[in-house]
Amino acid sequence: MHGMIGCFCVFVVVLCVDVLTKAWAARFLPLAGETAPSFFSLSLHHNYGLSFSLFSDHPTIALLISAAAFCCLAAACAKLRLHRRAPYTCALLCAGAIGNLLDRVFRGYVVDWIYFVKYINIADISLCLGCLLAFKSYYHHTTGRR
């Protein structure tokens, strides 16, 4: 039970930090293009597409794909019992997916505001961390290593 409370807390904290930082960025950061990005910088970027700007000309399709991906992710997480960290992995993945999905629903685009080679946000970082944990758990499960 304590593990589930911890996972719920991870989910809520990541989602809240993502929503709050996007609101901050939308209000205070200059639009991308107004400043030349360096290796790492903070500026506002409206992402109408999916990863790597896929479907950026079709935001409705991007929204539908995002919603379907979240539904599949939630269903997989409900059945996942491979590793003791699996619930935390799902919390990170779901928080990231919902954070970006909320943007697509309410703004029509995702607010990216951290420039680090590409424009990203806290939800993207959460998704990447969740994927890394998922691959690590899968590797340990299939190889028997801890």
Catalytic residue set = 112, 124
Contact in structure between 18 and 126 (CB atoms under 8 Å): yes
In the sheet with 40-47, reading across from the earlier edge strand, the strands are: 40-47, 110-116, 118-120
Contact in structure between 25 and 123 (CB atoms under 8 Å): no
Contact in structure between 118 and 40 (CB atoms under 8 Å): no
User: Which among 137, 138, 119, 129 is positioned nearest to 31, based on CA atoms?
Assistant: 119
